[in-house]
C-alpha cells in the first residue's frame, strides 16, 4: 500500500497528488482518505470490481449496504428520488455529518447499495469535497476499518488494521490525526415520518 502524506488539510495541498488519487480510484483501486468523521475507504461506486474489492478489504458481509459520497445536491438527485420536502431538509443539513436514506432512481448503475434505496451524504471536509468535485462520480462512504473493529481518526490505527490482512487498500492519504468525531447520523427519509437509524 502506497502512502501519501499531506500536512495541511486544505484543498490546495492535495493538488500535487490529486492525479494519482483519481487515477487509482478510476482504475478500480481503493483509497484510505480522511473525512469529516473518521478515515474512510473510497472507491468508484459505479465500478463493480472496485466495490467488490473494497468489500473484501473490509471483510463486509453481503446485505450490509454502502453509503455514498456525492459532491452536491444536483448529483444526489441523479441517483435518488428527492421531492420538495426532502430537498428542504437536505439544504439545511448538507454538507455535514448526516447520511440520508432515499428512494433510489432506476437505471443508474451503482454497486454495494440496495436495489430500492440509497444512502447519500455530502461531506463537510475541504480536502474530500475538492476530490469529489474533480472526480465527478459517487464514491463509497464507508469507514476505513475491518468489519467488527473500530473506525478511527488516527491513521496509524487504520493502517495497523490492514497491515497483516490479505487484502489491503491500494493507497492511503495521511493527514495525521483527525478531530475526534463519531460516525455520521443516519436518517431514513423514505417513509412519511423520517426515522433515525443511527445516532
- 147-184 confidence digits (pLDDT tens): 989 999 999 999 999 998 889 999 999 999 998 887 78
pTM for the whole thing?
A: 0.92
The dihedral built from the CA positions of residue 151, 128, 78 and 59, taken in this order, carries a sign that is: negative
Pairing of strands 39-42, 142-143: antiparallel
Using one digit for the tens of pLDDT, what is the confidence trace for 127-157?
A: 999 999 999 899 999 999 999 899 999 999 9
* 5 cis-preceded (ω within 30 degrees of 0): no
Rg (CA), the chain: 16
With the C-alpha atoms ordered 100, 103, 107, 113, is the resulting torsion angle positive or negative? positive
Q: Beta strand pairing status for 39-42 and 31-34?
A: antiparallel
CATH 3.90.870.10 for domain 2-198, yes or no, is yes
Average pLDDT over all residues of the chain: 92
100 Cβ contact list (under 8 Å, min separation 6): 86, 89, 90, 93, 119, 120, 121, 186, 187, 188, 189
Give the residue extent of every domain in the chain: 2-198
pLDDT digits 0-9 by tens, 100-134:
999 999 888 999 999 999 999 999 999 999 999 99
Whether residue 76 is predicted with pLDDT greater than 90 in this model: the reply is yes
Amino acid at each position: 500500500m502506497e502512502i501519501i502524506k499531506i500536512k495541511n488539510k486544505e484543498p490546495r495541498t492535495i493538488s500535487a497528488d490529486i492525479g494519482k488519487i483519481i487515477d487509482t480510484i478510476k482504475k478500480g483501486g481503493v483509497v484510505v482518505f480522511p473525512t469529516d468523521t473518521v478515515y474512510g475507504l473510497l472507491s468508484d461506486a459505479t465500478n463493480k470490481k472496485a466495490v467488490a474489492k473494497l468489500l473484501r478489504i473490509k471483510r463486509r458481509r453481503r446485505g450490509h449496504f454502502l453509503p455514498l459520497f456525492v459532491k452536491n445536491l444536483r448529483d444526489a438527485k441523479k441517483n435518488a428520488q428527492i421531492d420538495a420536502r426532502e430537498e428542504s431538509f437536505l439544504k439545511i443539513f448538507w454538507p455535514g455529518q448526516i447520511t440520508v436514506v432515499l428512494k433510489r432512481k432506476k437505471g443508474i448503475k451503482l454497486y454495494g447499495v440496495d436495489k430500492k434505496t440509497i444512502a447519500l451524504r455530502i461531506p463537510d471536509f475541504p480536502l474530500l469535497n475538492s476530490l469529489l468535485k474533480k472526480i465527478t462520480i459517487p464514491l463509497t462512504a464507508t469507514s476505513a476499518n475491518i468489519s467488527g473493529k473500530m473506525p478511527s481518526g488516527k491513521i496509524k490505527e487504520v493502517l495497523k488494521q490492514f497491515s497483516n490482512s490479505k487484502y489491503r487498500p491500494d493507497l492511503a492519504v495521511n493527514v495525521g490525526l483527525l478531530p475526534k468525531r463519531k460516525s455520521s447520523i443516519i436518517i431514513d427519509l423514505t417513509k412519511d415520518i423520517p426515522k433515525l437509524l443511527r445516532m
